[in-house]
Amino acid sequence: MLTGLGIPQDKAERIKALHDETANALSAQVEEARKEYEETKARAEEAQRLEAEINAIKEANGGKDYKALYEAEKAAFDALKAEQEAKATEARKREAYIALCRAEGVKARRLDSIARLIDVSSFRLDAAGNLENPEAIRADIRREWEDLIPAKGKGGYWNG
């Protein structure tokens, strides 16, 4: 056809070769785009199937969002756990304080009353579970509970 238009044979073959090269490159691009489309289409269909499955599960469970329920329950559990740890720490502080009272000679029958009255929030425990700065606390015990500490060797109570 090109030679019929007056184009020499060698130039016609060159035009045909360039045309074939361009057409083949475009065909390859079309084929690559078709493959990408098929892969994307398959992933989109899988995503739709999974979304439908999730919605079916939610509907079967009354529309509840279990992730939100789990997070709420976990937060409540963590709060309860922290509260229990705080109570256990407070109990250890009370026990350590009572042990110091006992070491200072406070009457044993008054230790339960002291345990209920004392505010242990300002005390700190060391790694061994003992109160930090025990000498200062013992001095406070001698000052605060002196009426409950019998005097040694005198038959009366200790006065300072």
Q: What's the rounded Cα separation, in Å, for the pair 11 and 15?
A: 6
Nearest to 93 by CA among 85, 81, 82, 83: 85
Answer whether 126's CB lies under 8 Å from 132's CB.
yes
Each of the 160 residues of the chain gets a pLDDT tens digit; together they read: 777 778 888 888 888 899 889 999 999 999 999 999 998 998 999 999 999 988 887 777 676 677 788 899 999 999 999 999 999 999 999 999 999 999 998 888 889 899 888 898 889 988 888 889 999 999 999 898 888 888 765 555 555 4
DSSP symbols for 80-108: HHHHHHHHHHHHHHHHHHHHHHHHHT--G
Structure tokens at 62: 């009354």
